[in-house]
Structure 1
């Protein structure tokens, strides 16, 4: 296409020209620190979640590093209007994540407040979640959880304020007897997923597992 000729796709890290459907070049791909977690086993996300709520299983695709490539990838998705980065991340996840005998019943992603959704134009987790749904043949529902409070991005808050923020989430429809895989982008304090998990757990005979694109270890 003419646009590809004049505005070629470039690696987000080194700016080398790459195929239109790629995010990084092959050399920079080797610099991504994947976690290599085994979903049912113990890992740092599960250890942190257990301190906050009863969790079944956890998985993180990458290690989130302030000066690393994983941060650039997440920021491309969240703040650079590159919604399809979620599809790439889902593809990488499907190559590494094996649910084994613990396959969840439903995929639920962390919602944005309607005002934030209008500002950004999309929820950065939706394409990721929907692509995983296709890979694993697990249904998703973007309407189960709603965010009731509008606030600035978690990344811009200090740790003390994140911990003190009241639960801004609620369930918008009944859900019971489900093993729900809760999906978020970056796991830091765990405050966001914990808030949603308790809403789900208190709603009925549900179980909660967690999947994140990256963990801030």
Structure 2
């Protein structure tokens, strides 16, 4: 309580004091560029993913534009030690995400290397995924995919390095005849996501859908 008085929670956009469980004030919330994707219909994320790998369905929560509020939110989650931001993003996602009759069998996160997890203190996708799991009654598995190599932040790699993703990931257990929803934070080129997907597809007759917190536009 004393900390709340000394260091009140402030809106990421306008710096106005807000309730502790919020990220932005109601006024700035209206500035977030939600995609309003329909999970089962054609949308821009699905079109881009289908150029890289076979896909059932896709959903992006927000647009990830330069200097946008959504970018600030993702950066708070990944780099500012605000792990609980994942819970808030999951709450927003459930307002727009309707699986209808195509509910996946399993939620799987794109992993960090253990060294990166230790440096950051958490994987930014875990709370988000666990809240979705609870809301939709879908099991999750944070260990199905393993990242084999430690590397610098994806945003700092040049295009050549982005394309060198072979053997970056491996599947740790048998997985067959399963509809898997792969969850990541931001979709940019899609190369990292594609590396994860192809490892899963090589293991059995699995189906893939994709969910990301934000997509570059």
TM superposition score category, shorter chain reference:
over 0.9
Question: What's the offset of the Cα at 1:167?
Answer: 3.4
Alignment RMSD: 0.8
Deviation per residue, 1:169-212 (Å, 9 max, x gap) = 00011111100000000000111111011111110110000000
CA deviation string 1:109-161 (max 9, x = no partner): 00000111111110000000001101111000001000001101111222332
Q: Is the 8 A contact 2:165 2:195 kept in 1?
A: no
Unaligned runs of 5+ in 1: none
1:113-192 equivalences under 5 Å are 113-192=113-192
The secondary structure found in structure 2 opposite 1:90 is: helix
The Cα shift of 1:8 comes to 0.7
Unaligned runs of at least 5 residues, structure 2: none
Partner of 1:215: 215
CA apart distance, 1:166 = 2.8
Secondary structure of the residue aligned to 2:163 is helix
Alignment partners' CA distance in 2, 1:118 and 1:2: 29
What SS is found at the alignment partner of 1:40? coil
For residues 133 and 6 of structure 1, the distance between their equivalents in structure 2, rounded to whole angstroms, comes to 35
Distance in 2 between the 1:111 and 1:161 partners?
Answer: 18
How many residues end up aligned between the 2 structures?
A: 217
**Counterpart mapping for 1:20-99 below 5 A:** 20-99=20-99
* TM score, norm. by length of structure 2: 0.98
Secondary structure in 1 aligned to 2:61? strand
The structural deviation recorded for 1:74 is: 0.3
Distance 2:164 2:42 in 1: 28
CA contact (8 A) 2:185 2:212 kept: yes
- Report the Cα offset of residue 164 of structure 1: 3.1
